[in-house]
Structure 1
Amino acid sequence: MARPRHAAPPAPETPAQVLAELLAVQRGRFAALDPRLPEAAAPPPGDIVVVGTPPHRVAGVITHHSWPAGSGPLLWSAAQVSELHPVVGAAGHAPLHALVEAWRGRMLPAVLREPDSAATVTWPSRDVVATRVFLDHGLVPLAVLAVRPPGAVASPPPDAGLEIRRADDGDVDACVRLALEELAYSSQVGGSVVRADAEAVKRTVIRDRLGRGEPTWIALRRGRAVGMMECGRAESTPGTWLAGLLPEGAWGYVNCASVTAAERGSGVGHQLLAAALPELDAATSDVPPRGTYLYYNPPNPLSSVFWPRAGYRPLWTLWEVRPAGGLRGL
């Protein structure tokens, strides 16, 4: 008599399969959170971590970045960065806590010992469930990516003593001075770092940007530069890094805005933005213009007021703790 056959147990899911399943659910989460978010994108390659069991299973990818001495990102980033890319589906507080705990357990020992290090995660600003979890683990909302639809700002009051024009190669020294003033201020209220080579790095970046004709506006009073708005254009298209952050289309962006201390509150920033936005919002390709974006620091008492008044609102929050070893367990 033949023995009855039993079906073989199903093969366990691979971490990649778990990521794909959770990502499909996460897309629904993002769409419900904020209509301005793009479709939730797959995380970059890295160390995959899966925590829990259905229906409370979550996953994430951990990546590591190192910035060499003299590189531009070191003016706003730690030298060693561990980044978590959550793929959590519709999970609530408890699974998210477990994911952050697992992240800390998978950090490289060298990163945990490094003073010039950071643990970071970028997440939709309107997801308050995740906000509670990140705060509990010692992460700080150090920056936001804010967006503004196309359209002019309200006309600023006239200032006959102020000249606004596009910066050119002859304005490098003035632009560097203003950029360093902004860096010094931001280092007190955000993630910027004043490093020994800051002036050389800023000079190289600004000279190259002006040489490429990237739009930068400068404000002058009695011939002296008192403000600057360093801008650019980018396209969010499938496969680009921007596609994971912004809906598909053409975007203008504000890279750096600086007003010298004696002129803050006098309307110089408003005048610069009013001059810059029409060009940044203009269509420059077959890709439809979607608006402009920028990063600002919520702890900054100036930019956290100025940019929302100008119509920018948070889309993504960049959570961070420095050094990375400061990421707390519960």
Structure 2
Amino acid sequence: MSSARGLVAAQSARFAALDPLLPPAAEPPGDGHVVTAALADGTRVAGVICHESFEPHSTTRLWSAAEVWELLPLVGTAQGMDALLSRFRRYLDTQEIGEDTACVVHWPSRDTVAARAFLDHGLVPLSVLGVRLRTPVSPMPRTLTIRRATLSDLDSVVELSLAELEYSSLVGSTIVRPEAPALKRRALTERLNNASPIWLAERDGIAVGLVECAIVVSEPGTSAALRLPQGRWGYVNCVSVLPGARGSGVGQQLVAHAHHELHRTGVVGTYLYYNPPNPLSSVFWPRQGYRPLWTVWEVRPASGLR
């Protein structure tokens, strides 16, 4: 795209005006399908459509369709998203599209003009990347025992992780597939063996809650740099509370503990993904200091794009 560099610069300027935490727009990959559109004022917008399929035993399939078409827009200004999504739809007409498929666009949450275009084309905000800058964590009353999980806790960790997956599948993008227990056990075994930051909350010796985290470094050339300001970040990957213990403060105590421990490692902030349609997390996470940075707009199956 000969005009790509100018569009990237214009998009970076718009991102900075929308939200100071957004990183600059990135150059689009060179291996996707390029789409362009002309606007009424003569300006042009462009985008790249990337296609990816995930193998049956990939953990990615627990939160994604098996086959995904992602649009990476370069609209530069507030205009043009509608035209670009129409080109996206025309491109999909040339593809064979099954049921286990999706169309996805990651876009800054504060761009309400683009949000209107996404809704008009049948996409819905299934996930949000929320961020919380490092702030002092006030001590709170502790009614639970919170400790680091070890490999001997694997059964409890897997049970809690699967409980979160099952609930999220009702209100978000995750999918409970037949291979989910085995995939979760394999992934969590590896993380526990690597001493990943995972904490359990216990009441009377019984595990009732889990918070699973990671440390992610955003620097030039990394995938994290596409979404986050540069620096060392804490990633809150999964918070799960057993159904019978929900609403009793388990999640709040766990997250406060995780924030404290992650801050001790020198992170600039923490981030996570939550589902806006989730009646629990959509209220819980803003109360813990998180606010939307990116919205993941999605439609399943991909043929549902209008």
TM-score > 0.5, shorter chain as reference: yes
Preserved contact between residue 80 and residue 111 of structure 1 (Cα < 8 Å): no
Preserved contact between residue 217 and residue 224 of structure 2 (Cα < 8 Å): yes
Offset of 1:18 from its aligned partner?
1.5
Structure 2 equivalent of residue 320 of structure 1? 298
Structure 2 equivalent of residue 25 of structure 1? 10
Per the alignment, in what secondary structure is the counterpart of residue 301 of structure 1? coil
Offset of 1:157 from its aligned partner?
3.1
Structure 1 range deviating more: 136-145 or 48-57: 48-57
Per the alignment, in what secondary structure is the counterpart of residue 55 of structure 2? coil
Cα shift readout 1:219-245 (whole Å, capped 9, x = no counterpart): 111111100000010100001011110
Distance 1:152 1:215 in 2: 20
Distance 1:179 1:152 in 2: 28
Tell me how many residue pairs correspond in the alignment: 304
Distance 1:260 1:221 in 2: 12
Structure 1 equivalent of residue 130 of structure 2? 146
Structure 1 equivalent of residue 112 of structure 2? 128
Distance 2:178 2:93 in 1: 27
Corresponding letter in the other structure for 1:151: T
Structure 1 equivalent of residue 213 of structure 2? 231
Structure 2 equivalent of residue 241 of structure 1? 223
Distance 1:122 1:282 in 2: 31
Q: TM-score, length-normalised on structure 2?
A: 0.96
Distance 2:36 2:128 in 1: 27
Greater Rg over alpha carbons, structure: 1
Structure 2 equivalent of residue 48 of structure 1? 34
Corresponding letter in the other structure for 1:303: S
Matches within 5 A, 1:165-314: 165-283=147-265, 289-314=267-292
Preserved contact between residue 156 and residue 267 of structure 1 (Cα < 8 Å): no
Offset of 1:98 from its aligned partner?
1.2
Q: Does 1:157 pair with 2:151?
A: no
Per the alignment, in what secondary structure is the counterpart of residue 115 of structure 1? coil
Partner residue of 1:71 out of 54, 58, 63: 58
Distance 2:96 2:9 in 1: 32
Preserved contact between residue 190 and residue 297 of structure 1 (Cα < 8 Å): yes
Corresponding letter in the other structure for 1:36: L
Structure 2 equivalent of residue 9 of structure 1? none
Offset of 1:206 from its aligned partner?
0.5
Corresponding letter in the other structure for 1:167: A
Corresponding letter in the other structure for 2:67: Q
Q: Which runs of 5+ in 2 are unaligned?
A: none
RMSD: 1.3
Matches within 5 A, 1:52-63: 52=38, 55-63=42-50
Q: Which runs of 5+ in 1 are unaligned?
A: 1-15
Offset of 1:47 from its aligned partner?
1.1
Cα shift readout 1:257-291 (whole Å, capped 9, x = no counterpart): 1000111110101111111112212345xxxx320
Structure 1 equivalent of residue 75 of structure 2? 88
Offset of 1:155 from its aligned partner?
3.3
Preserved contact between residue 227 and residue 268 of structure 1 (Cα < 8 Å): yes
Structure 2 equivalent of residue 107 of structure 1? 92
Offset of 1:44 from its aligned partner?
2.4
Offset of 1:169 from its aligned partner?
0.5
Corresponding letter in the other structure for 1:72: T
Corresponding letter in the other structure for 1:224: I
Corresponding letter in the other structure for 2:24: E
Per the alignment, in what secondary structure is the counterpart of residue 2 of structure 2? helix
Distance 1:283 1:210 in 2: 18
Distance 1:155 1:104 in 2: 51
Preserved contact between residue 160 and residue 209 of structure 2 (Cα < 8 Å): yes
Corresponding letter in the other structure for 1:220: E
Offset of 1:107 from its aligned partner?
2.5
Preserved contact between residue 79 and residue 117 of structure 1 (Cα < 8 Å): yes
Preserved contact between residue 137 and residue 260 of structure 2 (Cα < 8 Å): no
